[in-house]
Structure 1
Amino acid sequence: MNAADDLLVERGFSALTIEGIAQRAGVAKQTIYRWWKSKVDILLDTLTDDAREALEWRPDTDAGAEEALTSHLRRVADFFQEPAGQVLQALLGHAQLNEDTAASLRSGFLREQRERDAAGLRDLLAREDITVADRGVDHLIDLSLGPLYFRVLVLGAPIDEELVVTTAQLTLSLARTLSAGTP
């Protein structure tokens, strides 16, 4: 799986092949096919493994909500600069053209990460006594991650500190507004 990450970063998605992965890993092509049916499957597995730790919510009970959310969004921004983040970018791009990749990405990694994001955000909000309905939490996740994904995937630009801080502030402002309207 490390060989797939490395080759993707070096050569790009379209030049990545099972043959190249096998050669870099020092194994026979048949060994790769015994575990995965395509390069997309390998990349999905590497992404899932790498992102689980890199994108986890790390509760810092000493930090306030804004500081904790800003810290998490910084980790997301940093993730996009790592090989695993480049794997995510490649898979998201390929998913725009390939329905099977889109379905696999959505039903696996993206669904699991969304669940982790929802749990992490709920915990963060609960520490501040901010209560938001499930639909509101979904919107807050979209609001907090959307600008980061847009910056990287659409503009092809790095995520700067100002975007991270502003996004955290706006997300929490909306969360407080939603909480105030909750009976």
Structure 2
Amino acid sequence: MTKPDPARRSETSRRAVLTAAFDLLQEMPYPQLSIERIAARAGVGKQTIYRWWPSKAAVLLDAFLLLSESAEGAPPELPDTGDLDADLRLVLRATVAELNDPRLEQPMRALATEVAHDAALADAYHERLDGPLKEAKRQRLRSAQDAGQLAEHLDLDLAVDLIWGPVLNRWLQRSGPLTDEYVDRLVATALGGMRP
């Protein structure tokens, strides 16, 4: 008879906790979510959760990281077909689809709120989730810059904010519909000011 593998058991429990947190947010508002409810849904003890995460917001961040993990664990990459307009429209349309997904909306809004109020969580969010995504966006714009499609001295950090910021701002403030047509206008307007 083989002995149980504690690492496998821990990974199974970790995934159960992350899935439970996400599933519970489909059933209740974020303020009602608690470590106790997550533990009960995941079939683990509260102490197991507190051993791995300091708060329900930290659990939620890891749930998003689990969703965004690639099969190979490779850092994120944006498509680079050589057509910057098409690549950005593709990525921004996928972003809009995620923001409009009813299953993701409540957890994403909860995480955005917690990040705004918790400096330690904000640091973890930027280091583990937002930072790698921003680097992928910079790399794609740098490739376009190297190909002469963007101005040579363009500030790529600012360009990332100018391209992706309006989508997130519109979503956070519920200030207008997020549609493919909006994405197309946004890309055309942003790139119009960034070309050589």
* TM-score interval (norm. to shorter): 0.7 to 0.9
Q: 1:89 to 1:157 in 2, by over 3 A?
A: farther
Q: 5 Å matches for 1:20-59? A: 20-52=37-69, 56-59=76-79
**Equivalent residue, structure 2, for 1:114:** 134
Residue identity (%): 31
2:114 to 89, 94, 106: 94
How large is the RMSD of aligned CA atoms in angstroms?
2.6
The alignment's TM-score, normalised by the length of structure 2, stands at: 0.75
Instruction: Kindly state the Cα deviation for residue 49 of structure 1 after the two structures are TM-superposed.
Output: 2.9
Q: 1:3 to 1:85 in 2, by over 3 A?
A: same
Range 122-131 or range 137-146, more displaced:
122-131
Which amino acid is 2:136 matched to? R
**Equivalent residue, structure 2, for 1:103:** 123
**Equivalent residue, structure 2, for 1:9:** 26
Deviations 1:131-163 (A, max 9, x none): 544x62112111111111111101265411221
Q: 1:140 to 1:104 in 2, by over 3 A?
A: same
Q: Please identify which structure carries the higher helix content.
A: 1
Which amino acid is 1:110 matched to? D
Partners of 2:78 and 2:136 within 8 A in 1: no
- Which segments of 5 or more consecutive residues in structure 1 lack a partner in the other structure? none
Instruction: Kindly state the Cα deviation for residue 14 of structure 1 after the two structures are TM-superposed.
Output: 1.0
Aligned residue pairs total 174
The alignment's TM-score, normalised by the length of structure 1, stands at: 0.80
Partners of 1:51 and 1:84 within 8 A in 2: no
Q: 5 Å matches for 1:113-132? A: 113-127=133-147, 129-132=149-152
